[in-house]
Structures are given as C-alpha cells and as structure tokens.
C-alpha cells in the first residue's frame, strides 16, 4: 500500500519573535532560519519516516531543488515532482516565545497544478493506495472527484481553511483530518465534541479525525468515538506538529493498526516534533518513538 501525496512544496522563512507583530508595528526578530516546508512536503516526510512508501506529486520553481533533495533524503519518491515556470512556494513564519506560530503562505508553483498532471499520476496508482492532499494546491475538487472515481482511498486535510472547502466534494473523502479551527469553520460549532458530532452528521460515510493540540485527538465514525490525550510537555515550536500527526496516523492506519494505536502513535510523534525547531527538520524518525 502506497501513499500518493498531492502536496505543496515550500521554502519556509522562520523568524523567532517575542510576540507576534501587530498591525502598524515594526519589530526585531531574535533569530532567522530557512527550512524546507509546506504541508505537503511535511506530511510526505512524516509518512515516510513512519514507514510508509510515499510518492509526492507536486511542483517547484527555480531554486526549489532543495525541496526535492529533502524529500529524497527522507526516502520519498520524487519522480512525480515537476519544475515549472513559476516561483517556488514559500512561507513567512513567526514563532513566538510561547512556541505558537503564525504563517503567511505564497502558493507559487503549488497553485499551477494541471488536470493532466493529476490524471497521469492517478493512472499509476493501485486500488489499495491512498491519496492525500491538503488545501495548499489548486484543483483540489477535481483531485478528490477523480481519486474517488478511481476507487482509491482518499484522505483530505483542509488546511489552510478557506470558504472554498465547503464546496469541495467532501462526501467522496474516506478520511477527513481537521484541527479544531478547521472543524469549527465546517460545522459552526466551537467545542470539540460538538464539532466531531457535526462533522459526522454532515459527512456520514467519512471517517473523522479531529486534532486538538495540547488536548490530544479524537476519531469518529458511525460505530465509535475514540479520544486520546496528548503528552504533557513544553513546546518549543509547533510548526509541522499537525503534519507529523497526519503522516504517522496514515502510516499506522495503512498497517491496519487499531484506531487507538493510530492516535497514540501520531500524538507521540507530534509531541516529539514540537520539541525541536523547524518544519520538516523537526519531524521525528520512527526509531525516536521507541
């Protein structure tokens, strides 16, 4: 079983600050670093480090070769990553002293994916493969439809959340993975339990995973609701924590582990991630979870 991740590839510019900059304010950053990131890249690396066979489908512009090298180093197949005539995607990230982050993303090459590219990639997939995507690429609605028509297992992480997401064919998704903010936007609810119920009612044939940061995670389907607690810790940088959770959860699910085990392993991996600065560089190896 393989994972075809149609995902973003970004160069992250990370600025450590005491507090997030406010409108009209100029502040000095305490530190600057550049990392390979993008939700797509992060999730591919997390799934690969968890032990899954991953093929990344995406696009870079000039100067984006550092991103494919990072994927290659993580044993992710990059044969379906193309270089196009567009700027490489990038992000500006503020990391506050509390460990929380705020992110501005410029899509660039990530937003020029064609339907022909999607069709060609899906044509190489087998019936037991997973397709994963986030909301940092274009053609998401087309990808979800075509993947479902091909009989593939589809996981969707609607991040960053936009108004367009509600118009996507979410009923075709096998596994919907959202955080509390995204879940609230889809349901109009704010409490975790109400969000989980609302998502399950809106998408009754879809399995739901709701990530809750320091409060852990929940899984809901028509037969069961399972919650696990997060590990208590002091976060250094929460960048890529959700991506790490998703990669590890999918890998465990593909290995037919119990849902409780999937959640616990994913939470453990995310806990290790937030104790190290950076995006893809902070994603732990499977051996670190032991």
What is the rounded distance in angstroms from the CA atom of residue 39 to the CA atom of residue 268? Answer: 19
Q: Residue 207's pLDDT is what?
A: 98
Selection from 198, 204, 162, 164 nearest residue 182 by Cα:
162
Residues 269/47, Cβ–Cβ less than 8 Å? no
What is the rounded distance in angstroms from the CA atom of residue 250 to the CA atom of residue 46? Answer: 10
Residues 54/2, Cβ–Cβ less than 8 Å? yes
Selection from 39, 51, 52 nearest residue 89 by Cα:
39
What is the rounded distance in angstroms from the CA atom of residue 256 to the CA atom of residue 253? Answer: 5
What is the rounded distance in angstroms from the CA atom of residue 228 to the CA atom of residue 218? Answer: 7
Over the range 27-52, which residues count as b (16 or more CB within 10 Å of their CB) and which as e? eeeeeeeebbbbbbbbbbbbbbbbeb
Quick check: 253 pLDDT over 80? yes
pLDDT digits (tens, 9 = 90+) for 137-155: 999 999 999 999 999 999 9
pLDDT band at 91 (very low <50, low <70, confident <90, very high): confident
Residue 277 CB coordination number (10 Å): 17
Contacts of 163 (CB under 8 A, 6+ apart): none
Q: Residue 93's pLDDT is what?
A: 87
Strand partners of residue 12: 35, 91
Tell me what the mean pLDDT of segment 215-234 comes to.
92
Q: Residue 290's pLDDT is what?
A: 80
pLDDT digits (tens, 9 = 90+) for 153-175: 999 999 999 999 999 999 999 99
- The domain spans of the chain are 2-7+39-87+110-289
The top-level CATH class assigned to 2-7+39-87+110-289 is: alpha beta
Tell me what the mean pLDDT of segment 99-116 comes to.
92
Tell me what the mean pLDDT of segment 208-216 comes to.
95
């Amino acid at each position: 079983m393989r994972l075809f991740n149609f995902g973003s590839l970004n160069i992250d510019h990370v600025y450590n600050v005491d507090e997030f900059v406010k409108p009209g304010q100029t502040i000095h950053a305490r530190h600057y670093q550049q990392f390979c990131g993008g939700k797509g890249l992060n999730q591919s690396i997390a799934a690969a480090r968890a032990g899954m066979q991953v093929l990344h489908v995406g696009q870079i512009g000039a100067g984006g070769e550092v991103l494919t090298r990072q994927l290659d180093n993580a044993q992710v197949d990059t044969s379906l990553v193309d270089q196009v005539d567009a700027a490489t995607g990038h992000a500006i990230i503020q990391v506050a002293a509390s460990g929380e982050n705020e992110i501005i993303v410029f899509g660039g090459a990530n937003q020029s994916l064609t339907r022909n590219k999607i069709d060609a990639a899906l044509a190489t997939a087998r019936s037991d493969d997973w397709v994963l995507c986030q909301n940092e690429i274009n053609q998401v609605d087309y990808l979800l439809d075509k993947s479902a028509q091909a009989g593939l297992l589809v996981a969707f992480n609607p991040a960053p959340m936009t108004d367009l997401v509600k118009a996507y064919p979410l009923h075709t998704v096998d596994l919907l993975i959202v955080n509390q903010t995204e879940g609230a936007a889809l349901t109009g609810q704010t409490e975790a339990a109400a969000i989980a119920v609302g998502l399950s009612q809106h998408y009754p044939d879809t399995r739901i995973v709701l990530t809750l940061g320091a409060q852990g995670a929940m899984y809901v389907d028509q037969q069961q609701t399972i919650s696990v607690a997060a590990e208590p810790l002091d976060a250094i940088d929460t960048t890529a924590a959700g991506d790490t959770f998703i990669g590890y959860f999918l890998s465990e699910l593909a290995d037919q582990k119990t849902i409780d085990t999937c959640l616990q392993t994913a939470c453990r991996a995310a806990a290790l991630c937030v104790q190290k600065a950076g995006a893809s560089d902070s994603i732990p190896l499977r051996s670190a979870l032991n």
